[in-house]
């Protein structure tokens, strides 16, 4: 296993809020090991919101979904199966088409 020196990268928060916070991410061997607000950011001056302060915990969580999943049981039962991108896109398109047709029929009345 490689043991490269940690490198700090300047980055921008991936969340879509108006502050567009600047961050400093420390990466070692391809893994982010530290995340801090950038004290040079004019507005936030190094502050990170609660969502971003725990971001690495979520990204590297063993509970994080790594594949597309489809619910196969009743809602709340926690039963899912892995599906492909093609299956996911087809399901989304079909559900949206049904909803659009239903809305269109309502508007035509």
Which residues constitute the domain of residue 74?
69-108
Confidence band of 100 (pLDDT split at 50, 70, 90) = confident
Q: How confident is the model at residue 108 (pLDDT cuts 50, 70, 90)?
A: low
DSSP 48: -
Answer yes or no: do 44 and 17 share one domain. yes
At residue 51, the pLDDT reads 80
| Residues 13 and 54 grouped into a single domain | yes
pLDDT at 45: 86
Distance from C-alpha of 41 to C-alpha of 11, rounded to nearest angstrom: 11
The total domain count for the chain is 2
Same domain for 19 and 53: yes
d(CA 57, CA 8): 18
Chain-wide mean pLDDT for the chain?
85
Nearest to 59, CA basis, from 82, 34, 76: 34
Q: Within this chain, do residues 54 and 74 fall inside the same structural domain, yes or no?
A: no
More confident residue, 98 or 77: 77
User: Same domain, yes or no, for 74 and 55?
Assistant: no
Residue at 40 is within a domain: yes
Q: Residues 55-96: pLDDT tens digits?
A: 888 889 998 888 999 999 899 998 999 999 999 999 888 877
């Amino acid at each position: 296993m490689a043991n490269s020196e940690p490198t700090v990268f300047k980055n921008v928060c991936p969340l879509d809020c108006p502050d567009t916070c600047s961050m400093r991410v420390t990466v070692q061997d391809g893994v982010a090991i530290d995340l801090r607000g950038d004290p040079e950011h004019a507005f936030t001056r190094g502050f990170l919101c609660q969502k971003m302060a725990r971001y690495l915990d979520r990204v590297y969580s063993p509970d994080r979904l790594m594949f597309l999943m489809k619910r196969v049981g009743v809602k709340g039962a926690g039963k899912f199966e892995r599906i492909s991108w093609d299956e996911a896109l087809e399901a989304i398109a079909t559900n949206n088409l049904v909803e659009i047709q239903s809305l269109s029929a309502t508007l035509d009345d």
